[in-house]
Chains A and B, each alone.
Chain A
Amino acid sequence: MEFGPSFYHEFAEAWGKQDGYRLAPTLSPELSTEQLRTIYQSQNAHNVKNALKHGLQGSVAGVDRIDQVELQAWVEVYAAYWKATGVILDAWETSDGDSKELPWSKVYEAWTDLLNFLLRGYQNAGFEAWTIPCLYVVCKHLRIFAIKADAERNSNSASSLDDGAAANFQDDFDPETNKNQKLEDCARVLGRVFNVCHMDRAPIEESRKWASYYIANLLLKTYFRLNSASLSKHILNSLRAGRADMPPFSAFPKSQQVTFEYHQGVLAFLEENYAEAEEHLTAAWNQCHKAATRNKELILTYLIPCHLITNHTLPTEKLLEPYPRLQKLFLPLCRCIKRGELHKFDLALQEGEDEFVKRRIYLTLERGRDIALRNLLRKVFIARGFEDAKEGEKPVRRTRVPVAEFAAAISLGSQEKIDNDEVECLLANMIYKGHMKGYISRQHGIVVLSKSGAFPGTGV
């Protein structure tokens, strides 16, 4: 909104009600080029701070809580915002062709300036905690601009690698190290914001700690994109350490809770803490907004492999019904696991390898092979039927299974002959992992299975 009466009115209204969510949109760059132009043309560089000062002062005349230092700090913030609108306008209006100028890099710089002024307001000018939604909107867009700037530079240097890049850098120039230059910078800036909020010592009602999860989520998202899960740990640890002085987690907006649980879950997942991952992902799933299909899909992408490991359950068709992408990803594997089709499982895993690796679930899904094998061995056991029943007694399954039968089952489908040592090794592993109860009698070439629960948890 241009720096005119309606803007000042909005500022005063937000101020009077101490409504940060009303104030925040006045710092949003999500505007059409027309709107950006209106703002930018409503002032000039020479006059902008004066005009702002008069305008803001007039608007909050009735609000006695704002002092001169604080007012001046807001003037600086809005002046920086005004400057940024001009640069953003430029960026939108620059055509693809002459992108040597890297307009989005300039946007990123201008927006960083804005964030710094805002941050200074909190550190030095007594900005109150109710205004933190301003911090949200500015931080959120800093990240977006960083990503744009990196994309722009990368596509630019790709097309002119010969001249530009070679001239600017030494022989050992590696385009990869520079790929996320702005986003890495953004992560550092957001880290500072996180500290300014999380380390706030004010009483909880007026503490910037209320911004901790929002900023932490932005940071985690950024670290994920930069592929540095270890830095994420650092954020989780400081949140955990400060938990006693924080408002309860359930007091935060659900959007923040769900996003945070998701990231926590994925982090645990990547560390192979599947029980913990399942806990967080299930919490994210339960609290997730019912209409947020894409996010639900992302949660399930990790929750499904989790379930496979923790309690050996598979998604039902009903669960996957709304998600064609997940069906494609998981259904073939699930089918093979259920039927114990070991060879087809291997093929399905190979088939989806690229996609699984990309989503970082390959290694976890690979462990599903154990379950497929368990199911196959279970089928052999069941196919052998029962001992001749004695009068008046419950039928007992035949628990002595020749190793050769297991071997035949395992090599079924692949047509590859597998030797008995290898089969015994697989069986021993199954027993060791608790998927099967019994022992191998090498002398007789048989496996003696437990009469009660040969395949624990599966009803036989």
Chain B
Amino acid sequence: MASSQTTSKKDDHKTATTENKPDQPQATAEQKPAALEEDDEFEDFPVDDWEAEDTEAANGGGGGEGTQHLWEESWDDDDTTDDFSTQLKEELKKVEASKKR
């Protein structure tokens, strides 16, 4: 919230100063809040309320049946052709071979 506010305020003041009093030193004073903007505070929404159709859920990113494509299983499917799998298989063969000896 702080960040969105300071940004809009800054813009306000920039227009105000550049248009009316270009030689006032306000531009520097306005730099101060910038340090606050790097934090990860939940922002104020530009509107107070919205319809269901404007929610994330209604736009493909939501709950119910729509979530399938957003989350996937954490294991690799069993198509084991990547480098790591190949390496692993070779390693396992070695172990097996040493057992048989």
- Chain B residues proximal to chain A, CB less than 8 Å: 1-2, 5-6, 8-9, 12-13, 15-17, 20, 24-26, 28-33, 35-36, 39-45, 47-50, 54-59, 61-63, 69-76, 78, 80, 82, 84-85, 87-89, 91-92, 94-96, 99
Docked complex Cα distance between A307 and B48 (Å) = 29
Docked complex Cα distance between A144 and B10 (Å) = 13
Closest A residue to B67 using CB positions: A282
Give 25 A-B contacts (CB < 8 Å), ordered by A residue: A143-B2, A225-B39, A253-B49, A255-B44, A255-B48, A259-B45, A285-B56, A286-B57, A287-B56, A288-B56, A289-B47, A289-B56, A290-B56, A291-B54, A296-B61, A298-B40, A307-B71, A312-B73, A315-B70, A318-B69, A319-B70, A341-B84, A375-B74, A379-B88, A402-B95
**B40 near A359: Cβ-Cβ < 8 Å:** yes
List, in ascending order, chain B residues with CB within 8 A of A282's CB.
Answer: 63
A-B contact count (CB 8 A): 203
List, in ascending order, chain B residues with CB within 8 A of A286's CB.
Answer: 55-57, 62-63
Docked complex Cα distance between A308 and B82 (Å) = 23
List, in ascending order, chain A residues with CB within 8 A of B29's CB.
Answer: 91-96
Task: Confirm or deny: A101 has a beta carbon within 8 angstroms of a beta carbon on chain B.
Answer: no
Docked complex Cα distance between A341 and B72 (Å) = 18
**B17 near A375: Cβ-Cβ < 8 Å:** no
Q: Mark A132-146, 1 if CB is under 8 A from B, else 0.
A: 000000001101100
List, in ascending order, chain B residues with CB within 8 A of A95's CB.
Answer: 25-26, 28-29
Q: A95-B25, A289-B45 are in contact. Are A316 and B75 (CB under 8 A)?
A: no
Task: Confirm or deny: A268 has a beta carbon within 8 angstroms of a beta carbon on chain B.
Answer: no
Within 8 A of B (CB), among A286-326: 286-292, 294-296, 298, 301, 307-308, 312-316, 318-319
Task: Confirm or deny: A152 has a beta carbon within 8 angstroms of a beta carbon on chain B.
Answer: yes
Closest B residue to A262 using CB positions: B42
Within 8 A of B (CB), among A405-431: 405, 408-409, 412-413
Give 14 A-B pairs besides A295-B43, A339-B84, A380-B92 with Cβ atoms closer than 8 angstroms: A30-B5, A32-B16, A33-B26, A92-B29, A96-B25, A140-B44, A147-B33, A155-B32, A282-B63, A288-B55, A295-B45, A319-B70, A338-B76, A340-B76
